[in-house]
């Protein structure tokens, strides 16, 4: 189906906005590719290993065989429009998953039948829990050696605490995997043809009948409990129809009480068509989702917007990206109302008006112009000049600000400079564009060297940034060695005093502040309180004092890193009727903070990563010894598929640079690992920063 051939009008109830998410290499992009093929959206299936899939269109994705940026597309199945976002699996690009799940109504979580619940699977699951996204699970790669569908079910219950329930079970596994059994319909399904396009439904073979009935006996009462009328029929011994069971499964999935589990092998073209059926049958439409909450910027009151075209227009910008063919695009989810191209809307977050230039339906890196966007749709807009990720667009007569998207802080930095002095301005412009696209890229200028410092989520993340500078912006760069994003904190309480007095010919400056500093809980950042009573310091100066504390925390006195986890209490000071000002109190506060900070036993904090290493058992000892040298705290070791072992540990990021090379050498190229930010902890006295 070509872009120009897609249907225009689809009922809201027949729309699905879903994300495909999982651990790296679980088969997300391959599954998406098959969904597009069987729905008629594309006419040839690509392969991740060959670098010719529709969704991995960036040059870096083709070369590395991984998804880097979330790609949107639309397909049609059983007269339903399915808007799909294929998300990255690598933890360095977790922000792509975060912002996608924020605007999606449902998710297909893909689990590897061999690897089971892997680290990024858990991260994605927590993100979906955070946004209360209903989901179905597709257990993939059942044709692989070591595949175990039942073990994956057990892992999801034990590791994720998920109320998962199989609605399908496999017929065979590994080399003998031949199809799936639909427990609700009591049918076996086999896939044949050159591309698995022929779907055959038949009676469950005798050798699988006992197992299928056993699973169904567990499934039916769980579904019956979700609807009183079905429960009454079940208790009375009446047989529940397939339609009744699917209706109950849908209600339980939409409410989050149940997560249906399906299975197959996307690469071998088995199980994908029933997965499309499950998206239609079980996942919610925009009309099933509760109205979104927002704040009226004028009144400060909470308001609701439901997914109805007659409501005032509201939409959230969840991604900004430079399309190589169209230019600067803003991806948005429309939550209510409708807007046409050329309309003027309000960016309620920034308080500015924007004009909707072109409205586009997106298929990876290709686009199709449409006339309007309506409630429940995900589209891209060209022409927005001031809007960034997390901004709300709305009807100017009915302003509303929707909740912004939160992103993790970067943990690694490095310096970037141009090889040619003439390219410096282009480098800054390119970095600013990349920073606008990706909220986990932070940019600053080193005041001492004048170098541009970029911060990100990991080594691969920064490598991709530098690669894009060369390929997309034609800026040749010199790259510094990656640096850990340390922080500072204090270990004891102390008092600091700052007095700023300036006398000139006219009005002077006077500010006097006394602060009490003490350690705060890990992860709390700054906790500011005021104990000022009476007129010791007028209330109008308190905000300036808090700003002074925030400014003082930007660079600690120990090594110049940002300060974290400090409680600051304003306990005293003085003011002058004529000479006191916000500026004077802010400067005095910075002085007081620095005075108290150095008395409070300052210390360095380092980022700690949660790592999971998979290694052949024969190399287990070498890998563990190497981790101990890297100051790792090993939490668990468990058997994995075949003769491999999985080691879960917490390890300082500073010791893990270049670990992939070391692990390959230790395990003869067979070891793999994943790593994600966990927390900040004090640097031991015997470990230099």
Per residue in 640-656, pLDDT tens? Answer: 666 788 899 999 988 98
Distance from CA of residue 654 to its chain's centroid?
A: 24
Higher pLDDT: 440 or 185? It is 185
User: Which residues are CB-neighbours of 316 under 8 A, at least 6 positions away?
Assistant: 102, 103, 332, 333, 335, 390, 391, 392, 393, 402
Q: Comparing 2-6, 59-63, 158-162, 451-455, which segment has the lowest mean pLDDT?
A: 2-6
CA distance 96 to 118: 18
DSSP letter for 386, please: S
User: Which residues are CB-neighbours of 147 under 8 A, at least 6 positions away?
Assistant: 113, 114, 141, 173, 174, 177
Classify residue 275 as left (phi > 0), alpha (psi -120 to 50) or beta. Answer: alpha
CA distance 30 to 542: 56
pTM score, whole prediction: 0.72
**Does the pLDDT at position 5 exceed 50?**
no
Structure confidence at residue 46 (pLDDT): 57
Question: Mean pLDDT over residues 289-303, rounded?
Answer: 92
Across 649-679, b (16+ Cβ under 10 Å) vs e yields bbbbbbbbeebeeebeebbeeebbbbbbbee
Q: Comparing 5-14, 476-485, 611-620, which segment has the lowest mean pLDDT?
A: 5-14
Question: Mean pLDDT over residues 625-629, rounded?
Answer: 94
User: Which residues are CB-neighbours of 617 under 8 A, at least 6 positions away?
Assistant: 643, 644, 645
User: Which residues are CB-neighbours of 214 under 8 A, at least 6 positions away?
Assistant: none
Q: How confident is the model at residue 62 (pLDDT cuts 50, 70, 90)?
A: very low
Residue among 149, 189, 178 at smallest CA distance from 273: 189
C-beta of residue 376 within 8 angstroms of C-beta of residue 314: no
Compute the half-sphere exposure of residue 17: CA atoms within 13 Å on the CB side of its CA.
23
Between the two ends of the chain, the Cα-to-Cα distance in Å is 56
Length of the chain: 689
**Does the pLDDT at position 632 exceed 80?**
yes
Q: What is the DSSP pairing of strand 106-112 with strand 15-22?
A: parallel
User: Which residues are CB-neighbours of 30 under 8 A, at least 6 positions away?
Assistant: 47, 48, 53, 266, 267
Strand partners, 646: 614, 638
**Does the pLDDT at position 473 exceed 80?**
yes
C-beta of residue 590 within 8 angstroms of C-beta of residue 563: no
CA distance 587 to 279: 58
Inter-helix orientation angle 242-255/206-224, to 10°: 60
Question: Alpha helices, DSSP H only, in 256-299?
Answer: 272-282
- In the predicted model, what is the mean pLDDT of the chain? 86
Residue among 340, 338, 334, 366 at smallest CA distance from 355: 340
Q: What is the gyration radius of the CA atoms in the chain, in angstroms? A: 28
Structure confidence at residue 56 (pLDDT): 45
Q: How confident is the model at residue 67 (pLDDT cuts 50, 70, 90)?
A: very low
DSSP letter for 141, please: -
Structure confidence at residue 678 (pLDDT): 85
User: Which residues are CB-neighbours of 139 under 8 A, at least 6 positions away?
Assistant: 110, 111, 112, 113, 149, 152, 153, 261, 262, 263, 264
**Does the pLDDT at position 366 exceed 80?**
no
Structure confidence at residue 64 (pLDDT): 46
C-beta of residue 64 within 8 angstroms of C-beta of residue 58: no
Question: Mean pLDDT over residues 373-377, rounded?
Answer: 92
Structure confidence at residue 630 (pLDDT): 93
C-beta of residue 286 within 8 angstroms of C-beta of residue 12: yes
Q: How confident is the model at residue 529 (pLDDT cuts 50, 70, 90)?
A: very high
In this structure, how many other beta carbons lie within 10 angstroms of the beta carbon of residue 478? 11
> Cα separations (Å) of 408 from 21, 129, 277, 522?
18, 16, 35, 15
Strand partners, 345: 354
CA distance 239 to 242: 10
Structure confidence at residue 326 (pLDDT): 60
C-beta of residue 36 within 8 angstroms of C-beta of residue 28: no
CA distance 356 to 383: 6
C-beta of residue 292 within 8 angstroms of C-beta of residue 301: no
CA distance 515 to 526: 13
Higher pLDDT: 158 or 664? It is 158
**Does the pLDDT at position 9 exceed 60?**
no
C-beta of residue 354 within 8 angstroms of C-beta of residue 387: yes
Q: Comparing 96-105, 449-458, 575-584, which segment has the lowest mean pLDDT?
A: 449-458
């Amino acid at each position: 189906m070509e872009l120009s051939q897609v249907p225009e009008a689809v009922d809201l109830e027949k729309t699905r906005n879903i994300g495909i998410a999982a651990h790296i290499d679980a088969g997300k992009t391959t599954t998406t590719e098959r969904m597009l093929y069987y729905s008629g959206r594309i006419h040839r299936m690509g392969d991740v290993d060959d670098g010719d899939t529709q969704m991995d269109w960036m040059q870096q994705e083709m070369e590395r065989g991984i998804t880097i940026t979330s790609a949107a597309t639309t397909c049609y199945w059983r007269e339903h429009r399915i808007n799909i976002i294929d998300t990255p699996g690598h933890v360095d690009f977790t922000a792509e998953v975060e912002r996608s799940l924020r605007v999606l109504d449902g998710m297909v979580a893909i689990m590897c039948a061999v690897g089971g619940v892997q680290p990024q699977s858990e991260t994605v699951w927590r993100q979906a829990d955070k946004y209360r996204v209903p989901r179905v699970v597709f257990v993939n790669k059942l044709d692989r050696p070591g595949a175990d569908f039942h073990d994956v079910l057990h892992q999801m219950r034990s590791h994720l605490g998920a109320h998962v329930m199989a609605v399908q079970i496999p017929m065979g596994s590994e080399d003998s995997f031949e199809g799936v059994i639909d427990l609700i319909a009591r049918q076996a399904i086999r896939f044949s043809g050159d591309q698995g396009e022929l779907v055959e439904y038949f009676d469950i073979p005798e050798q699988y009948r006992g197992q299928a009935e056993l699973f169904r006996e567990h499934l039916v009462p769980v579904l019956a409990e979700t609807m009183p009328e079905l429960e009454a029929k079940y208790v009375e011994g009446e047989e529940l129809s397939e339609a009744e069971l699917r209706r109950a499964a849908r209600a339980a999935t939409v409410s989050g009480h149940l997560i249906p589990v399906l299975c197959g092998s996307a690469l071998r073209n088995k199980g994908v068509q029933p997965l499309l059926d499950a998206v239609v049958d079980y996942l919610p439409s925009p009309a099933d989702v509760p109205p979104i909450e927002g704040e009226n910027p004028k009144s400060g009151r909470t308001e609701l917007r439901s997914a109805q075209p007659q409501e005032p227009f509201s939409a959230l910008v969840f991604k900004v990206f430079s399309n190589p063919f169209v230019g600067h695009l803003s991806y948005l989810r429309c939550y209510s109302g409708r807007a046409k191209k050329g309309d003027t809307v309000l960016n309620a977050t920034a308080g500015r008006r924007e004009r909707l230039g072109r409205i586009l339906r997106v298929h990876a890196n290709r686009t199709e112009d449409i006339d309007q966007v309506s409630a429940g749709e995900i589209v891209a807009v060209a022409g927005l000049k001031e809007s960034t990720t997390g901004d709300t667009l709305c009807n100017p007569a009915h302003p509303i600000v929707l909740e912004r998207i939160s992103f993790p802080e970067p943990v690694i930095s490095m310096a970037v400079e141009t090889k040619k002095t003439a390219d410096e301005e282009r480098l800054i412009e390119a970095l600013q564009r990349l920073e606008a696209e990706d909220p986990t890229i932070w940019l600053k200028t080193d005041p001492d060297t004048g170098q541009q410092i970029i911060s990100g989520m990991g080594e691969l993340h920064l490598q991709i940034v530098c690669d894009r500078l060369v390929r997309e912006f034609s800026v040749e760069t010199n790259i510094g060695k990656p640096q850990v994003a340390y922080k500072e904190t204090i270990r004891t309480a102390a008092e600091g005093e700052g007095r700023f007095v300036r006398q000139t010919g006219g009005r002077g400056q006077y500010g006097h502040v006394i602060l009490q500093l003490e350690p705060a809980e890990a992860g709390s950042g700054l906790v500011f309180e005021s104990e000022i009573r009476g007129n010791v310091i007028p209330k109008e100066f308190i905000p300036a004092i808090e700003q002074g504390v925030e400014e003082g925390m930007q660079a600690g006195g120990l090594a110049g890193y940002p300060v974290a986890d400090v409680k600051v209490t304003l306990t005293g000071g003085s003011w002058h009727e004529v000479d006191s000002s916000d500026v004077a109190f802010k400067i005095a506060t910075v002085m007081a903070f620095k005075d108290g900070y150095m008395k409070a036993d300052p210390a360095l904090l380092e980022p700690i990563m949660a790592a999971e290493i998979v290694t052949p058992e024969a190399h287990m000892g070498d890998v563990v010894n190497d981790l101990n040298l890297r100051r790792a705290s090993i939490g668990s070791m468990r058997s994995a598929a075949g003769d491999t072992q999985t080691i879960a540990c917490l390890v300082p990021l500073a010791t893990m640079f270049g670990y992939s090379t070391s692990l390959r050498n230790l395990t003869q190229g067979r070891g793999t690992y994943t790593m994600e930010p966990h927390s900040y902890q004090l640097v031991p006295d015997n470990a230099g920063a």
